[in-house]
Amino acid sequence: MGFGGLNIGVGGLLAAQAGLELASNNIANAGTKGYSRRMIHYTEGPTAHGKANWRLLSGVQVHSINRVRNSFLDNQVRQQNSNFNFDNMVAEISIAMNDILGEPSDSGLAAKLNQFFQSASDFAANPEVATAKTVFINAGDSLARAFNQIDQSFDIFKANISDDPNGMIPSSVSKLNNKLEELFSVHQAALVRNNIGDRAEDLNDKRDLLLDEISEIIELNIERDGAGDLQRLTIDINATEARAVGTA
């Protein structure tokens, strides 16, 4: 075996070693949140040419290491995240409203309204009957107390949603702002690495994880360039009008 064969053998061993290290890294991070499996791609090594058709082959070498991601599936998951959390929030608010109104039950607002109007009808039909008058007064008093209790409960519910700093909306906005600031920092660092030809798989994983977490708060629309690289984020704050757009 000449020097060419030794060179090919060394190149093959180095490439195989890189593949084993990558496989070990994938296994070690199988349970790491946000980690994307890496795939190694090989290519033929450069060939040196000399006089008289002489050439020196170098075997195989590592061409690139890429994350195994599917942007279409990522977008679908994030869309479903947004839909699920929106529907879940609507369901929680509906349950809270029903609890405040005491529905469905035999002692809720609807039952008290029925009792009041029934007693009013009975009293109107028999105004001379003392018990009918008493029942009507008691039903009216019960209905008034129910309205007062509902009003107080709605004030508490409103405070739980909108009061700073622990209300549902302010805390969500604060969490969103923190995530967006972190996303901007990670995205800028990833772009810098990519522009200088350095590997940025760890930053890209962190960016995708942040996008997944943000999609649980608001709707995301991500635009990519022809090579599939993330260049522009369009974040829908309100589905009807308000929209914040950030361009890297």
- pLDDT, averaged in runs of 10, over the chain (248 residues): 67 90 94 92 76 66 88 87 89 88 82 92 90 92 92 89 80 88 87 82 90 87 62 54 40
Q: What is the pLDDT of residue 118?
A: 93
Grouping H, G, I as helix, E, B as strand and the rest as coil, residue 121 is helix
Q: What is the pLDDT of residue 56?
A: 64
CB atoms within 10 A of CB 50: 8
Q: What are phi and psi of 62, to 5 degrees?
A: -75, 125
Q: What is the pLDDT of residue 232?
A: 62
Whether residue 179 contacts residue 189, with contact meaning beta carbons closer than 8 Å, is answered with no
Alpha helices for 164-246 (secondary structure H):
168-195, 201-215
Q: What are phi and psi of 167, to 5 degrees?
A: -65, 160
Among candidate residues 212, 180, 209, 206, the one with its CA nearest the CA of residue 193: 206
Rounded Cα distance, 214 and 224, in Å: 18
75-112 pLDDT, tens digit per residue, is 888 889 888 988 998 898 888 888 888 877 888 888 89
Rounded Cα distance, 208 and 223, in Å: 13
Distances (CA, A) of 165 to 162, 169, 173, 175: 9, 9, 10, 11
Q: What is the pLDDT of residue 229?
A: 61
Distances (CA, A) of 57 to 42, 133, 231: 15, 108, 39
Q: What is the pLDDT of residue 159?
A: 86
Q: What is the pLDDT of residue 236?
A: 56
User: Residue 242 has which token pair?
Assistant: 């308000």
Q: Is the whole model's pTM more than 0.75, yes or no?
A: no
Q: What is the pLDDT of residue 115?
A: 92
